[in-house]
Amino acid sequence: VAELISEVIVFSALEKSLYYSTPPELQDKVRVGSRVLIPLGRKEAMGLIYALHDGPVAVPAGVNIRPLTAVVDSSPVITEELVALCRWISSYYFYPPGEVVQAALPAGIEITPLTFLRLTSVGREEVKSGYSSELVKLLVREERALLQELKGKPDFRKQLRKELELLEKKGWIERVFECRPPAVRSRTVKSVRLAMPPDPAASAKNESLRSLIRALEQGGEWIPVRELRRSIKNCDYWVRKLEADGVLQAAEIEELRESQCAQSIPPVVPPSLTADQNAVMEAVLPHIERPSFQAFLVYGVTGSGKTEIYLRLVEETVKQGKGALVLVPEIALSTQLEALFRQRFGARLAVWHSGLSPGVRYDQWREILAGKRSVILGVRSSIFMPVSNLGIIIVDEEHDASYKQEDRLRYHARDVALMRASKLGIPIVLGSATPSLQSLNHCRTKRYHLLSIPGRVLDRPLPTFQVVDMRRERGGSRIISNALRKELLETVQNGEQALLFLNRRGFATFYLCPECGNVVQCLHCSVSLTYHQKDDCLRCHYCGSERPVPDRCPDCDHGALTAVGFGTERIEEEVKKILPGAGIVRIDRDTASQPRNMLKLLDAVRCRRADVLIGTQMIAKGHDFPHITLVGVVNADTALQISDFRAGESTVQLLMQVAGRAGRGEKPGRVILQTYNPQHYTIRSVVNMDYMEFCKEELASREKLQYPPYTRMLKLLVTAPNEGVTRDAAHLLASLSREASDLLSEHNRHVAVLGPAPAPVQKLNNRFRWHIYIKGWTSQDLQLFIEAVMDRMKTVPQLRRVQIAVDRDPVSSF
Ligand code: ADP
Ligand code: ZN
């Protein structure tokens, strides 16, 4: 009989997989993707079966292959298909395989299950015929014992352990494993309702009491007290009083957890498709029916009806009995689409984002694994969902930078999606109104199919533009120009909605000492602090730490610091002055860090309780608010200040996305761009709404400068708490890299090493940061290069004092 070897990875930073023999009694229990207990050194560890090999495997000399201890799962926790994907991710992004798999499992799934001991049937017979001991007594009494608990007992080492070993060997005691699902907390809120009609005479006396009773009468069933508090003075007092009088009944009522979407969208009959939409369907459908890997880029202007195309494609896939995965860049978008998807796919739909509690996520994940849910709509990490029989992957807003994870496993969900689709041999649809240059370049080289939708549905016009040169602005404020003010007033007076966009939250951008020029900085990061008026503090937008506004300059002790620049909080104040009494909703990370808050705010816009929506890039993309007719970009230049070769691309994408929020309904839209650089090529491209023209220019310049997509990049990020250590290690790593690159070029494989240099944010969370950029002409060259560098790195003890992160295809440059 050929020997069955299990290749196992452990859930830690170990880079290599380990090999174990498979004892006969475990042979039909081992499956790729199941967790196993293994001996590791002198301890027992938890691992996952990465692969099964028939027959001998090559292991380094001196390593002896030991047997697996036990199989934990009765069925795999991760599908074989995903295991293969993880293997690719691990090698492409240089990340330990065990940690990749862990990232693919939902947070909260216990990596280490509980181990229980219990008597086997043989054991129970032996007990009946008179055998007894401490351990056996315990197992008879309690039925089972938690091993981890047993190990804590003082006599475990002396007595219990020997006995356990003995009885396990005899087959009288066995181990069973149990994985507890993450605690599902149901949330209750104190709620009230009327118990009897109130006495009208009693309530006449007090204004608050009157409004409380009115709210109770109008509110119908249970109303959360929290909500009443907002509009009623001394609410808790009156609630207690009415409760004592028996007029009102109070109870803790369970609130639905957030798996159900909170946004109200009236049900609609699906529209019949336009000719352009149909053309896309016809191109993609054959590849769903007869599955083959094919990448499509749907380049459709904002409002061209891409969402309807996604819905139809998923519908067709589901009809064929297959699953579909739809990725969106942000929670806000997934919750907006959730309503649409739920209308069409009902209980088959699973949504996936960080706004869901671990319990909800765990339940959904198990149903996906069991094949009960086949349509998944979610953010970046849903690319790891174990959808069975996947038939299509759709990536909406494929250009969006939030698909890239910026810490730990630095993967790009769109690129992983492409790999997953290609391994599975299924079609993938990337959609955007402003596709990434990378994807457009793939269309040029015929790796992707380009499907364009040049116009909005129903021939709705694209918005018109007005550029306001802020250098010439007189009389008006330096924040909201006369032109924007006039349009704002008009829009709201006409009963329409306006959106003001500024990619900076807070009140003032920074605090400056007019005497010495010092800017108040974060104590933990090398960035300036932003003033937040509501909390009257300075806040770091990188690490979140806060400090009070200093009275005097920390450097020169000068007395009066001045606030410079402005953020969304300040815009809100300006709008209140222009439009007193208007409904204003501000959405940024200060007001909407919790998904449920964000949903409420978005709902206020949708239900037209808000006239003006102010926000950061959180509101720039994807949303479909048909009553917004005016979009004001308060400062079109903010994104340009980044020193990155992508600054132009991301500015144009962002501005076009924001502009695309205007005029999506029946009324046409207007966009006002306030800028200090009206002649800048990015501003001109946006105003002309000619994205392709911009891309042509931009691609030409990238080619000349040898930037991606014509080359491939990789960033090595060196960090440590000590400045000198970080710098020295970065220099060392750079020279190692140069040696490796010299060696490669002898084999005609060229990579360029740029740096080292301090990162733009030199210090973050008390760690100093240096980086080295590596440029290669092919992906394969980069792979060979980094493997060579990683091998060398291990031999240099100085490099152990720092953390080195590999960022492949880096997106951000901070
Ligand atoms: P995009 O995602 O391309 O920006 P959406 O999918 O949000 O565009 O579509 C914009 C609007 O047009 C939505 O309100 C949508 O309901 C509507 N719409 C989409 N397809 C059609 C169609 N075939 N007929 C009529 N209206 C449509
Ligand atoms: Zn900070």
pLDDT one-digit tens code per residue, 745-766: 888 888 999 989 999 999 999 9
The dihedral sign for the CA sequence 645, 646, 652, 658: negative
Mutate to test the pocket of ligand 1, among 394, 399, 624, 666 (most ligand atoms within 8 A of CB): 624
* Cα dihedral 801→89→56→48 (10° resolution): 80
Q: How many helices (H) and strands (E) does the chain have?
A: 24, 34
Ligand nearest to the CA of 269: 1
Q: Tokens standing for 462?
A: 């694209």
**Distance, CA 276 to ligand 1 centroid (Å)?**
12
- Ligand 1 pocket, residue 303 CB under 6 Å: yes
Secondary structure of residue 111 in the 3-state scheme: coil
Burial class, 143, CB count within 10 angstroms (exposed 0-12 / middle 13-18 / buried 19+): exposed
Q: Which two tokens stand for residue 12?
A: 């830690």
Name the nearest CA neighbour of 629 among 376, 752, 791, 460.
460
Tell me if 544 CB under 6 Å of ligand 1.
Answer: no
Looking at the chain, the whole-number percentage of residues with pLDDT higher than 70 is 95
**Cα angle: 701, vertex 704, 708; to 5 degrees:** 75
pLDDT-derived band at 213, boundaries 50, 70, 90: confident
In ligand 1, which atom is closest to the CA atom of 460? Answer: 12
Beta strands in 180-280 (DSSP E): 187-194, 223-224, 248-255
CB contact at 8 A, 461 and 663: yes
Any ligand 1 atom below 6 A from CB of 458: yes
Exposure b/e, 198-231, CB count within 10 A at least 16 = b = beeeebeeeeebbbbbebbeebeeebebeebeee
* Between residues 283 and 25, the one the model is more confident about: 283
Residue 119: strand pairing partners: 173
Nearest C-alpha to atom 20 of ligand 1 is from which residue?
305
Distance CA 396, CA 493 (A): 35
Counting ligands in written order, which one lies closest to the CA of residue 520?
A: 2
- How far is 46 from 70, CA to CA, in rounded Å? 10
The top-scoring range by mean pLDDT among 72-81, 424-433, 522-531, 609-618 is 424-433
For atom 19 of ligand 1, the residue with the nearest CA is: 305
What six digits make up the tokens of 100?
A: 């990749």
Extract the tokens encoding 389. 């029989």
Lowest mean pLDDT across 154-168, 399-413, 574-588? 154-168
Backbone angles phi, psi at 748, to 5 degrees: 65, 30
The span from the CA of 516 to the CA of 524, in Å, is: 22
What is residue 263's predicted lDDT score, i.e. its pLDDT? 45
* Cβ 353 vs Cβ 378: under 8 Å: yes
Distance 462 CA to ligand 1 centre (A): 13
Ligand 1 atom with the smallest distance to the CA of 268 is 16
pLDDT exceeds cutoff 50 at 109: yes
pLDDT range class, residue 280, cuts 50, 70, 90: very high
Q: Can you give the pTM of this predicted structure?
A: 0.86
Render 363-408 in DSSP notation, one character per residue.
Answer: HHHHHHHTTS--EEEESGGGGG---TTEEEEEEETTT-GGGB--SS
Instruction: Answer yes or no: is pLDDT of 362 > 90.
Output: no
Residue 682 CB less than 6 A away from ligand 1: no
Question: Which residues keep their CB under 5 angstroms from ion ligand 2?
Answer: 522, 524-525, 540, 542-543
CA of 545 to the centre of ligand 2 (A): 6
Per-residue pLDDT, 44: 82
In this prediction, residues 112-138 reach a mean pLDDT of 85
Chain centre distance of CA 501: 22
